[in-house]
Amino acid sequence: MIPLPKLSSDVFLAPMAKITDVAYRALCKEYGAGLAFTEMISANDLSRNDPQALHELQQLKFEPKPRCVQLYGHNMENFITATKMVEPYAEIIDLNFGCPYYKLVRQRTCSALLAYPDKIQKIVQNIVANVKVPVTCKIRLGLDPQHITVMKVIQACEQAGASMITVHPRTTNQEYRGRADWSWIKKVKQNVKIPICGNGDVRTVEDYIRMKKETNCDYVMIGRGAIGMPLLFKQIQEYNSTGTYTPIKYKDKLIPLNRYIEIAQQYKLEFPEIKHQVTLMLERIYPDKLYKSRLFRVNNLNELKRLLESMAPKPKQPS
């Protein structure tokens, strides 16, 4: 088992499709995320030199270290080929055994593999043997309440040489419904010696504090709670430094949004990708969505910047 590199904080940005682009990952790191995981990349696609998968890999050159690439698949040969391709670009390789998306589950990958702890162990073991960077795993409890395999899976991952396990305490069938059962994170932590990262239903600083206290997990991963809200990482960083944190003021909310656009331009992201991320961030700033019709008509970066300038709070005039 190769230990994780030294990290700036114990809170991570989760991998999320169509959300954790390279610019948003860099932004969240600026605001205090110790790690930011890539959107998951298909090991099959990468091993076959799929242009989109290769593009995502090439973007990692720009991202501040440490960089963490998440892969998914089930074909051993393709998995090993893909991890060797990823290794020069990443300080950590994460294996997705937790995504509940039904199309991937039907392909017998991601969380479908939770039914086969021995298969997971062989995958992790082979990848650990073929790379010189830490290999981590992201898992769920099992396929459904009648097939909870989490304890067998964590033992398999640890024995295979995984450096960390992220536990999302829902089943595959739950997807994101209901509440995440954090008691399982505590059970996992008590039964392995490697670091455990808790994931699920962390949307505020208070949630982060409670998860750490209730589960004793080493790290906390934030997914949906971080969509459009990189300032959450800043608040947690402030809390860990001072024991308190500053509430987010309206005038501060557009600052990370404009910073995201700056980074996205540096990384040469396409405008539709930038507009999508800006839309997600605006939804957290303006829940009433009165800006939607104006944003819909925006067709280029200059128009987008002008729209954001018009939305910025105006300074008070002296009386």
CATH of the domain at 140: 3.20.20.70
Residues 228 and 290 grouped into a single domain: no
Q: Does any domain span residue 316?
A: no
- The type of residue at 11 is V
Residue 145 is part of which domain span? 11-242
pLDDT of residue 315: 56
Residue 68 a catalytic site member:
no
Q: Does any domain span residue 5?
A: no
Q: Does any domain span residue 152?
A: yes
Q: Which residue has the tokens 């080493």?
A: 218
Q: Does any domain span residue 3?
A: no
Residues 234 and 278 grouped into a single domain: no
**pLDDT tens digits, 38-70:** 999 999 999 999 999 999 899 898 899 999 999
Residues 257 and 153 grouped into a single domain: no
Which of 190, 212, 242 is the C-terminal boundary of a domain? 242
Residues 85 and 24 grouped into a single domain: yes
pLDDT of residue 286: 81
d(CA 210, CA 119): 34
Tell me the three state secondary structure of residue 207.
helix
pLDDT at 316 over 90: no
Residues 172 and 110 grouped into a single domain: yes
Which of 220, 242, 264 is the C-terminal boundary of a domain? 242
Q: Are 170 and 145 in contact (CB under 8 A)?
A: no
Q: Does any domain span residue 1?
A: no
The pLDDT mean for the chain works out to: 94
Residues 202 and 282 grouped into a single domain: no
The tally of domains found in the chain comes to 2
**pLDDT tens digits, 245-292:** 999 887 788 899 999 999 999 999 999 999 999 999 998 888 777 778
Residues 193 and 139 grouped into a single domain: yes
Vertex 45 angle, CA 39 and 49, to 5°: 115
Residues 146 and 206 grouped into a single domain: yes
Q: Does any domain span residue 193?
A: yes
Residues 6+ apart with CB under 8 A from 257: 278, 281, 282, 285, 308
pLDDT at 309 over 90: no
Residues 106 and 37 grouped into a single domain: yes
Query: Which stretch, 179-193, 275-289, 293-307, has highest mean pLDDT?
Result: 179-193
Burial of 107 (0-12, 13-18, 19+ CB in 10 A): middle
pLDDT of residue 317: 54
Residues 238 and 254 grouped into a single domain: no
Residues 38 and 139 grouped into a single domain: yes
Residues 20 and 65 grouped into a single domain: yes
Which of 216, 242, 268 is the C-terminal boundary of a domain? 242
Catalytic residue among 68, 99, 157, 197, which? 99
Q: Does any domain span residue 196?
A: yes
Please give the average per-residue pLDDT across 166-194, as a whole number.
96
Q: Does any domain span residue 217?
A: yes
